[in-house]
Chain A
Amino acid sequence: MREFLILLKYGMAFSHAPRRGKKRVSLYSYIVPAAVIGLVAFYTTRSTFSTLSQVDPLAPKIFINFWTTLLSMFFIVGFIGLSINSFTLNEEIEFLLNLPIRRTVLLFYQIFVSTLTQFFALFLYIGIYASYTMVSNNSFLVLFKGIMQLIFMISLASILTILIGKRIKKATVRKIVMVINIVTPFLIFLLIGSNESITKNAMGESGILRYIAFSFSNYNFLTWAIKDGIFPIISLVISIIFVVSFVFLSKDVEFSQSESKSGKTKDFKLMGSGVPIKAIYIKDIKTALRIDQFIFFIIYPVAFGIFMAVMNNDIFTAIFASMPVIIIYVAIESAILTAKEYLYIETVKTYPISLGKILMPKIIIPTTLNTIILLVEFIIFSFLKGLQFKFFIFLPISFVLLIMNSLMGAYQTVKNPPKTENISRVLGFGSIMLVEGITLGSVFAVIFPLMKLFANDFESTIQRYLVGYLLPIATLIACLMYSRYLYLKLIGYHESQ
């Protein structure tokens, strides 16, 4: 226990090292936002549970089963993805292995850290479960089941990590986790959608209760801990087996990957164009395609758009749901590419090329990629769903917003450059909030007035001119001016160093 507490006190500093000129990143900075979300979840679902219990006593159970399934999957997938990396030989583990600390303690420490990284899923679940506890008859038993559920989730994720981590390559793990991350939410909803007819027969027409067929099933082992009857006991026994197995297996963990060594050097031909600008773009495109997070941020909004189109059978919902997501994610994509450059900035600055030219592709590549995605989305929808040509005006508007957000992502990264290869937290909480705030504000001020304008939904001519024309134009001009300001700041940032 003493070893564990020491690791906790000093080890967290390695995972969350403070940036230059900043105070040490406190654990509370991770807990507090997650706890706020948990509280919001508690208050919003409390009334839902209360209403549901009045409609049907079984309904709150169905609802909590659904949330338990969904959030358990998020927790487990996220946990495995992060902990497999931390169970393998990284700088911190290499250092800790030199210290007189047992491997089991090291593993428990990594489990604890990985659990903490899933704060949002965890606190969201705790918030929802707490409100469920309030409408249940036997609060104490329900609370106990909730704790068992948390133990089951952590023990299942831990044992899966140790079993998968011993056999799988790091790159393969990253790819699997990325695919799971993209597919999981859509898979769940699609499962729910496909079970709609069964649900209707069992529970009537209520939309929420459609979820029952999947999540309320006795085969859904993710919810055994909170079910009635023998299931919580089975879940408890399984958790104990997982914990014992974990302790047993942890003694043999090697903290390394099964990376295959290529025995022979493959043939390659040195190409090259001799054109510096082309070289930078090719290098950045290769980098982007080799970073899983980057691909994730590209694919996710597209999948989200397609999913919304399928679920709602409505192209406008599909386009206007995915557009803000794409515009927000472009900032993260730019930030990832900029962060990758800044890890090697001292070498880069010795190259005979200006920093402005080096940074430009970090804006151009994500902006172009996402503009093409939107264009393809618009073209497909115009062919399949008869999207009117006038809606193509949203493309140049999106382009302006994409450029602004790319610049924001790059500038925020230049201001706070990363110190390690780990780019999972490439933009800090404050930067993300800034990007989201400005994006949502601009989208609301530009896109929604135009939609109303196209729908001829204004009450007066003055309103039509002020809100329908002036507001979007003024916002776009402001966005362009802000983009110019960010560009000058970005290019000039290192001139002052």
Chain B
Amino acid sequence: MIKAMNLTKKFGDFTAVDNLNLEVSSGEIFGFLGPNGAGKTTTIKMLTGVLKPTHGDIYILGLNMKENEIKIKRGIGVVNEEPKIYSHLKGYEYLEFIMDIFQMNDSQIKKRIVELCDAFEIDYLDKMIADMSHGMKQKLVLISVLMRKPKVIFLDEPTVGLDAKSAKILKELLKKYAEQGATIFLTTHILEIAEKMCDRIAIINKGSKIAEGTMDELRKIGKYENMNLEELFLELTASSEEIKSIVEQL
């Protein structure tokens, strides 16, 4: 479903993503982790067609990104970390816009919007987006993606700004969609979420992938037998001794 081959992105002399290879199958929840500035968002932007890679190839839904960009975009859903959506539209106008852009205008989708609004407790669709809080906008974006039931969903820090109930509903919904065959690609700094939800995890640091596998496989890589994901992540991306010494100096 998602395949990245030798993916590289350079901004001038700076290499944000370096020769990255990824493969995510249908029905899988894939966690993409890394410290700040590791290249997670740049990777997602390339996989969703927002940024063009300097080198490498991307295949989504079996289609090459270079040749089928629009077709791929029609089949995927993207939830960015920042819910940047048209502030001069009302909530329901934005949903109408998305329905039109994705050429979906049947009674089924309207019914689904109502169901999702009930689930996420959205009763502010007549409000201007400019007047909505971060969490309200994030829920609106989630609905605009989930209403379409795309086969591949990319989520960059999806729970930021969501209340506990909405975050829980989202997590359960993503699991349900994966069981139904959808591919979920998510980044998060909340390692507990990744540990509980993801079937497989990749860790990226300074633009390069440093580990990939299931939780059990990751533990075996460095012989971190009894570690949880947070301890493992820190071992791979920073030195525990370094953190200890920084805290002591403070």
Contact = CB atoms under 8 A, between A and B. Distances in A.
A117 interface: no
Contacts of A280: 101
A175 B125 CA distance: 24
Interface string B97-108: 101111111000
Contacts of B101: 276, 279-280, 351-353
Given A349-B49, A350-B49, A272 B100 contact: yes
A344 B80 CA distance: 11
A346 B93 CA distance: 19
Interface string B25-44: 00000000000000000000
Nearest to B91: A268
B95 interface: yes
B71 interface: yes
Interface stretch (B81-89, B170-178, B191-199, B209-217): B81-89
Contacts of B45: 346
A274 B126 contact: no
Interface stretch (A54-62, A130-138, A283-291, A477-485): A283-291
B84 A350 contact: no
Interface in A350-364: 350-354
A272 B110 CA distance: 10
What range describes how many residues of B lie at the interface?
A: 35 or more
B113 interface: yes
A10 B124 CA distance: 37
Contacts of A279: 96-97, 100-101
B132 to A, nearest CB: 13
Contacts of B104: 274
B96 A271 contact: yes
B88 to A, nearest CB: 4
Given A349-B50, A350-B49, A283 B86 contact: yes
B189 interface: no
B102 A347 contact: no
A421 interface: yes
Contacts of B70: 352-354
A17 to B, nearest CB: 17
A227 B131 CA distance: 47
17 contacts: A265-B123, A268-B125, A270-B95, A270-B110, A270-B113, A276-B101, A279-B96, A279-B100, A283-B97, A287-B86, A287-B88, A291-B88, A349-B49, A350-B48, A350-B76, A351-B102, A497-B52
Nearest 4 interchain pairs by C-beta: A279-B100, A274-B105, A352-B73, A352-B74
Given A283-B97, A349-B48, 17 more contacts: A266-B126, A276-B101, A276-B103, A283-B89, A287-B88, A287-B89, A343-B87, A344-B86, A346-B45, A346-B50, A347-B84, A347-B85, A347-B141, A350-B80, A352-B73, A352-B101, A497-B51
Interface of B: 45, 48-52, 70-71, 73-74, 76, 78, 80, 84-89, 92-93, 95-97, 99-105, 110, 113, 123-127, 130-131, 141
